Every structure is written in structure tokens, then in C-alpha cells.
């Protein structure tokens, strides 16, 4: 008699097939599409908000009595405020996303309005206050990254892909933000309320107001995490001994433990090597955003100060935008590479490419051969390389550590990003005054430190593709 003829008998291979199918579905799962689009679009809008003032901030600050270093602070300060904002937000978000989305939309509107009103009020520090308010909205950068690596809604083989989509949005914001900022400055709108300096603030405030309506109507939040009571339910000995399937080095924590004790138990199981990976990824993330932020803040100042360039905000905005938009097709191609190549190889390639751009820039500074073409080649290489690298850091960590650590690693990486952004923007604004050779030399040294850490931990950085 065949096994199929027995009504109450399970085929010995069926459970294996079902288990394999279930594992595949889990590894390739994706979140609700409308909600995913909202998070990606919000990431794009926040990038626009960050970059739209880059091309004209120096002129705006100068009109109100500030200098180039102050304009660098205005550009970079929001990310510092965003890092501080995560302290209360992560205490009350309950592991979910809708509340931070509402907070972000609200403060984006307030910040852009304050930035625009500073012209009429003729008050220099109001643009700084406005950017600080906008900085609260930038706290959502962390939630966008966490959403794309959240094990509740994203499979392990989809995280690098979604992180790369985030970088595509980042690149679009890097391109369109400075372009529109420079274009609005050139048009001028000779009006004390709506002009080249203030129009970016008014327009972005209106866009956020409309987008807030869409968030309220269409965003579907993730399921809430288990409560303490649910975590305290006893489980069978068989389940208690079962290891975490994706993290063989970290056993599953017994749900009978209280949350604080559970965290301490998980913490004790993180090895010295895993801590090394965490530090390495945080450093790489900080360096990437430090360099990107410093170049974005420095190019308008350096271009205006270089005699044979003599850029206006419109010229600087076009130059920055051209570098970003040229990177765009390569970042789309990177979406395909992310499914086939290991994260560590993509990170190594992006960082090496960015370093090549820095070394080329150092060379043209030393030889005095700075022109539009040579500077663009350096900017394109730096922008492409370090943008590619930023897609990897959090997705790699999310695959290395237990699912319960996703929120913590998201905060670690995002605080590294914020640190890089704010210090990079200040360094970029000060680049001409400290000397451009010193400016680029520091960036090369920071990449060198990351390279040492990266090569030391090369074997430990291996993860699943996708």
C-alpha cells in the first residue's frame, strides 16, 4: 500500500517541503506596499528638506549677518537635534511608526515656516531655530531605516534591497534639493515674504501639509510587539531549547524572563567579535555621512571662493544636483547587485570608489588643476561611492544580530549618521578657511581608519545576500 492511500498518514517528505516553503516565504517577505511607499517618499521629502537650502544657505546667512561657518552649522544642526529627539520618541513609539510619522510632518512644517519668516523678521538666529525644528522631523530617518530592516515585516533576504531603495531616494533628494533651491534663488521672487531665500521654506511646508493627509489616510502600522504579559507566558521545554534559526550563535531567549532580564541575557551573548562588527558599521556609517555632508556644504563655498569658478547659489545647486542625478542609474543597478553580492563586498566597493574620488581631489588641489570637469569627476565618484556604502551598514547588522536588536541597532546606526551629518556640514562650511588640503586630508584619514577595522573583521562580516 502506498503512503498516499493512508488517510491519516502524513507523507514523510511533506513536512520538510512545507517547512522549506515557510522559511523561504519568511526570508522574502515584504511590508504593506502603500505603507512602504509612504516611508520611502517620506525619506525622499526629508532628504529634499535637508538639501534644498544647501545652495543658498551661505547667501541667506550672509544677508542676515552670518558667515560661511554659520551656514555650515545651519545646514548640519538638524541632524544633531534629530539624534536628541530620538531619546523621547523611542521611549513612546511602542515599536511602531505612525506616531513618529505624525511628529515628523508637524515639525517639518513648523521648521520650514520659521526658516522662511527669518527674512522678514531680519533675525539671523531664526533660520537656526527653524532648522532645529526641522531637525525633530529628521528623527524619522531612523524610523525609515528601521522599517526597511524590521524582522516583523521584512525578510532577511529583502533588507539590503529595501535599504538600497532608501539610498535611491537619498540620491534623488541630494540631486533635486540643491537644484530646486538654486533655481528658486535664481528666480528670486523679489518680495520680502516670498523670495529666493524664503521660497524653499514656504513650498516645503505646503508639501508636508498635503503629505500629512496621505499619511493619516493610507499608512498602516506594523503589529504591536508582545506585551510583558505575553512574554511571560510559559513555554514547553522543546520550544525553550530551540535556537534562533537565523542567528545560530545566539540562543532564543526564554519568554518566561522579564524584559530587562531578557535584554541582559541577550547582551551577555553578544560576542567580542560581534561588538567589533557593531563598532565597525557605526564608524563606516558616520564616515560616509560625514564626507557626503561636508562636500554638500563645502561645494557652494569653495565654488564661490575659486576665482575661475565664481559660482552663484544657482550654479552650486546645479553642480551638486548633476553629480547626484548622474549617480542615479548606477544606484538602480546596485539594486540588482544587492540580490547577488554579499553586503561586505558592496560596502568595500563603495568605500573604495569614494576613497578614489578623495585621492583624485587631493591631487588636483596639489597641482592647482581645479576646473569644472575635474571637480565634477571627484564629486561624482565621492557621491556614488559613499551613497552606495550607506545602504549596507544597518542591513548588515540586522542580519548579524537577533531580531530583538533591530530597534537598538537602528538607533546606533542613525546616531552615527547624524553625528557624521552635523560635524561634516560644519567641517565643509569651514573647509576654505582651514585650508582645502587639510579639509580633504582629514576625510582620507577617517576612511583609512574604517579600512583597517573592515579588513580586520572581513570574515565576520559575511551575511546572506539580498
CATH number of the domain within which 282 lies? 1.20.1250.20
Is residue 234 one of the residues assigned to a domain?
A: no
Q: How many domains does the chain have?
A: 1
Reported confidence tier of residue 304, pLDDT bands at 50, 70, 90: confident
Is residue 48 one of the residues assigned to a domain?
A: yes
Contacts of 434 (CB under 8 A, 6+ apart): none
Cβ neighbours of 54 (radius 10 Å): 27
Query: Which residues are paired to 243 by β-bridges?
Result: 251
Strongest mean pLDDT among 112-121, 155-164, 171-180: 112-121
**Three-state SS at 243:** strand
Is residue 12 one of the residues assigned to a domain?
A: no
Angle at 424 between CA 177 and CA 437, to 5 degrees: 110
Q: What is the span of the domain harbouring residue 397?
A: 30-223+260-461
Rounded CA separation 446/227 (Å): 43
Least confident of 18-22, 404-408, 448-452: 18-22
Q: Which helix (DSSP H) or strand (DSSP E) does residue 107 occupy?
A: helix 98-121
Is residue 24 one of the residues assigned to a domain?
A: no
Burial of 270-281, coded b for 16+ CB within 10 Å and e otherwise, reads: beeebeebbebb
**Three-state SS at 251:** strand
Is residue 236 one of the residues assigned to a domain?
A: no
**Residue 364 buriedness (CB in 10 A; 0-12 / 13-18 / 19+):** middle
131 within 8 A of 43, measured Cβ to Cβ: no
Rounded CA separation 197/181 (Å): 8
pLDDT value of residue 5: 44
Higher pLDDT, 145 or 5: 145
Cβ neighbours of 457 (radius 10 Å): 17
138 within 8 A of 78, measured Cβ to Cβ: yes
Higher pLDDT, 225 or 390: 390
Query: Crossing angle of helices 68-92/406-429, nearest 10°?
Result: 170
Is residue 369 one of the residues assigned to a domain?
A: yes
451 within 8 A of 432, measured Cβ to Cβ: no
Cell numbers linked to 336: 540588482
Residue with cell 576665482: 307
Least confident of 30-44, 88-102, 132-146, 325-339: 325-339
Reported confidence tier of residue 24, pLDDT bands at 50, 70, 90: low
pLDDT at residue 425 above 60? yes
Task: Taking residues 445-456, report their average pLDDT.
Answer: 92
Rounded CA separation 50/177 (Å): 8
Is residue 25 one of the residues assigned to a domain?
A: no
Per-residue pLDDT of 288-298, as tens digits, reads 999 998 998 89
Phi/psi of residue 251, each to 5°? Answer: -65, 155
Higher pLDDT, 373 or 28: 373
Is residue 346 one of the residues assigned to a domain?
A: yes
pLDDT at residue 274 above 70? yes
Rounded CA separation 354/208 (Å): 33
Q: What is the mean pLDDT of the chain?
A: 82
pLDDT at residue 123 above 80? yes
Angle at 171 between CA 287 and CA 52, to 5 degrees: 95
Reported confidence tier of residue 349, pLDDT bands at 50, 70, 90: very high
**Three-state SS at 219:** coil
pTM score: 0.72
CA-wise closest residue to 344 among 249, 248, 460: 460
Rounded CA separation 46/105 (Å): 10
pLDDT at residue 48 above 60? yes
455 within 8 A of 322, measured Cβ to Cβ: no
**Three-state SS at 30:** coil
- Where residue 65 falls (left for φ over 0; alpha for ψ -120 to 50; beta otherwise) is left
| DSSP 8-state class, residue 4 | G
Cell numbers linked to 334: 546596485
Give the Å distances, CA to CA, from 135 to 108, 147, 274, 281.
8, 20, 31, 24
pLDDT at residue 21 above 80? no
Task: Taking residues 167-196, report their average pLDDT.
Answer: 85
- Helical segments of 306-342, H only: 313-340
Burial of 394-422, coded b for 16+ CB within 10 Å and e otherwise, reads: bbbbbbbbbbbbbbbbbbbbbbbbbbbbb
Rounded CA separation 174/168 (Å): 10
Amino acid at each position: 500500500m502506498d503512503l498516499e492511500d493512508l488517510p491519516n498518514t502524513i507523507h514523510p517528505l511533506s513536512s520538510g517541503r512545507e517547512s522549506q516553503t515557510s522559511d523561504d516565504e519568511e526570508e522574502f517577505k515584504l511590508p504593506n506596499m502603500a505603507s512602504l511607499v509612504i516611508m520611502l517618499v517620506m525619506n525622499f521629502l526629508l532628504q529634499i528638506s535637508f538639501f534644498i537650502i544647501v545652495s543658498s544657505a551661505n547667501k541667506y546667512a550672509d544677508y542676515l549677518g552670518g558667515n560661511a561657518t554659520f551656514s555650515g552649522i545651519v545646514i548640519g544642526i538638524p541632524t544633531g537635534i534629530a539624534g536628541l529627539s530620538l531619546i523621547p520618541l523611542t521611549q513612546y513609539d511602542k515599536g511602531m511608526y505612525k506616531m513618529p510619522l505624525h511628529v515628523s510632518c508637524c515639525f517639518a512644517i513648523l521648521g520650514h515656516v520659521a526658516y522662511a519668516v527669518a527674512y522678514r523678521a531680519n533675525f539671523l538666529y531664526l533660520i537656526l531655530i527653524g532648522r532645529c525644528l526641522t531637525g525633530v522631523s529628521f528623527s524619522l530617518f531612523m524610523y525609515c531605516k528601521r522599517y526597511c530592516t524590521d524582522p516583523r515585516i521584512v525578510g532577511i533576504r529583502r533588507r539590503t534591497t529595501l535599504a538600497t531603495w532608501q539610498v535611491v531616494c537619498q540620491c534623488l533628494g541630494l540631486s533635486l534639493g540643491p537644484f530646486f533651491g538654486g533655481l528658486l534663488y535664481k528666480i528670486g521672487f523679489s518680495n520680502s515674504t516670498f523670495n529666493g531665500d524664503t521660497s524653499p521654506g514656504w513650498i516645503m511646508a505646503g508639501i508636508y501639509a498635503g503629505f500629512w493627509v496621505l499619511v493619516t489616510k493610507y499608512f498602516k502600522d506594523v503589529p504591536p510587539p508582545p506585551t510583558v504579559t505575553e512574554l511571560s507566558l510559559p513555554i514547553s521545554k522543546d520550544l525553550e531549547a530551540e535556537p534562533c534559526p537565523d542567528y545560530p550563535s545566539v540562543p532564543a531567549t526564554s519568554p518566561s524572563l522579564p524584559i530587562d532580564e531578557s535584554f541582559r541575557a541577550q547582551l551577555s551573548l553578544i560576542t567580542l567579535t560581534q561588538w567589533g562588527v557593531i563598532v565597525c558599521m557605526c564608524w563606516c556609517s558616520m564616515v560616509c555621512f560625514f564626507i557626503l555632508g561636508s562636500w554638500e556644504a563645502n561645494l557652494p563655498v569653495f565654488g564661490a571662493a575659486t576665482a575661475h569658478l565664481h559660482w552663484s547659489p544657482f550654479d552650486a545647486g546645479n553642480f551638486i544636483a548633476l553629480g547626484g542625478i548622474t549617480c542615479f542609474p548606477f544606484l538602480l543597478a546596485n539594486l540588482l547587485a544587492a540580490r547577488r553580492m554579499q553586503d561586505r563586498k558592496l560596502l568595500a566597493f563603495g568605500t573604495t570608489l569614494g576613497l578614489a574620488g578623495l585621492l583624485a581631489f587631493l591631487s588636483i588641489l596639489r597641482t592647482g588643476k581645479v576646473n569644472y570637469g575635474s571637480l565634477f569627476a571627484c564629486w561624482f565618484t565621492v557621491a556614488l561611492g559613499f551613497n552606495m556604502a550607506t545602504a549596507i551598514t544597518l542591513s548588515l547588522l540586522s542580519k548579524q544580530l537577533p531580531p530583538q536588536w533591530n530597534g537598538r541597532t537602528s538607533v546606533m546606526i542613525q546616531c552615527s549618521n547624524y553625528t557624521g551629518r552635523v560635524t561634516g556640514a560644519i567641517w565643509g562650511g569651514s573647509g576654505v578657511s582651514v585650508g582645502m588640503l587639510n579639509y580633504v586630508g582629514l576625510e582620507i584619514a577617517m576612511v583609512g581608519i574604517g579600512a583597517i577595522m573592515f579588513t580586520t573583521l572581513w570574515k565576520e562580516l559575511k551575511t546572506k545576500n539580498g
